[in-house]
Chains A and B, each alone.
Chain A
Amino acid sequence: MTESTHTTCESLLGSLSEYIDGELGAELCREIEKHIAECENCRIVVDTTRRTVDLVHASNRSESGLPEDVRDRLFKRLNLDDYLKSSRE
């Protein structure tokens, strides 16, 4: 973060999550984009934070569902054994 744009860097940080999530108004987005075009460190923070969130989503999508043995024990614990087979099909 640069010394000369310290306040802007700080305010960017406050809006970072909403910016990444696409929940920020158009004007504030333009201000952030103008700032990161001039501030390399903030550009890196925005890019790598966005990438971090994307990675979490991608990693989550690639995870397999509930392990079969965990599901079996859950249904038995809940006395739902008779639905174990039918709901699996």
Chain B
Amino acid sequence: MLEIKNEFSLEALRAGDRSEFARLVDAYSSPIYRLGLRMLGREQDAEDVLQNTFIQAFTHIAKFEGRSSLSTWLYRIAVNEALMLLRRERPEISIEAASSDDQDEIAPTLFVDWGALPEEELLSAEGKKALDKAIQNLPETLRMVFSLRDIQDLSIKETAETLGLTETTIKTRLLRARLSLREQLSTYYGERLKPEKTND
């Protein structure tokens, strides 16, 4: 999991200690904002998720029993807030049910060997833009799993707890997300590698 070095006093948080809550907000606001941005793609939506997450946390911290870690609890609230925003535009979205995203064919179709391209090209402004676009192209069910596991660095178990899904479902969706991104980046870099081949 993304390492948050500060430890927090649950007792103080439950008692409404504002200073402790401010520390909590400072520790988790950046990862939660980034999570919202990855899941929703718009800065204003990410900010709404961020604010609503901490309002919910502040309201319900007294009932937090500590059965999961504080970070898992916060991420779960953030995911639910993001889902609520997504459902305003697409009410049918559900992360729980097995979806067609879990069953579509995933066999790779592109075998472009772009892995050895220099890092400066892969991480250029244009390369990062292609990566961001590819992540936004993922279906929501896959993007949520991918955002928590590969962007927030949660373990498979923590991702499963956060989304209320089985570890098997998380593993399946993570693989599909990674393969879909790989395929999209293969298309992108395949186009860029073409001119070099024709010049041979």
A residues engaging B (CB < 8 A)?
A: 1, 10, 13-14, 16-18, 20, 40-41, 44-45, 47-53, 55-60, 62-63, 65-66, 70-71, 73-75, 77-78, 80, 83, 87
Contact of A78 among B54, B108, B128 (CB under 8 A): B54
| Residue contact A13 to B106, C-beta cutoff 8 Å | yes
Asked whether A73 and B115 contact (CB < 8 A) given A48-B185, A55-B122, the answer is no
With both beta carbons as reference points, the residue of chain B lying nearest to A10 in the complex is identified as B107
Residues of chain B lying within 8 A (CB to CB) of residue A55: 122-123, 127, 131, 185
**Docked-complex contact A13 and B123, CB < 8 angstroms:** no
Binding site of B, secondary structure by majority: helix, strand, loop or mixed? Answer: helix
Chain B stretch 42-72: residues in CB contact (< 8 A) with chain A: 47, 50-51, 54-55, 58
Chain B interface residue bracket vs A:
35 or more
B176 to chain A: closest CB distance in Å? 10
- Give the shortest distance, in Å, between A38 (CB) and chain B (any CB): 15
Task: Provide the bound-state CA to CA distance between A40 and B178, in Å.
Answer: 19
Question: Who on chain A is nearest to B47 by CB?
Answer: A70
Is B23 in contact with A87, judged by CB distance below 8 angstroms? yes
From B19, which residue of chain A is reached at the shortest CB distance? A83
Bound complex: CA A70 to CA B123 (Å): 26
Asked if B114 and A74 sit within 8 Å, CB to CB, the answer is no
A65 to B119, CA, bound (A): 22
Q: Are B54 and A74 within 8 A (Cβ)?
A: yes
A87 touches B150 (CB 8 A): no
Decide yes or no whether B151 CB sits under 8 A from chain A. Answer: yes
- Inter-chain contact A66/B111, CB cutoff 8 Å: no
Known: A44-B113, A50-B115. A56 touches B50 (CB 8 A): no
Task: State whether B171 touches A83 (Cβ < 8 A).
Answer: no
Q: List 15 A-B contacts (CB under 8 A).
A: A1-B107, A1-B108, A17-B174, A45-B108, A45-B111, A47-B113, A48-B114, A50-B115, A51-B114, A57-B153, A73-B47, A75-B25, A78-B25, A78-B55, A80-B21
Query: In the complex where A74-B29, A83-B19 touch, is A53 in contact with B150 (Cβ < 8 A)?
Result: yes
- B22 on the A face (CB < 8 A): yes
CA distance A74 to B112 in the complex (A): 44
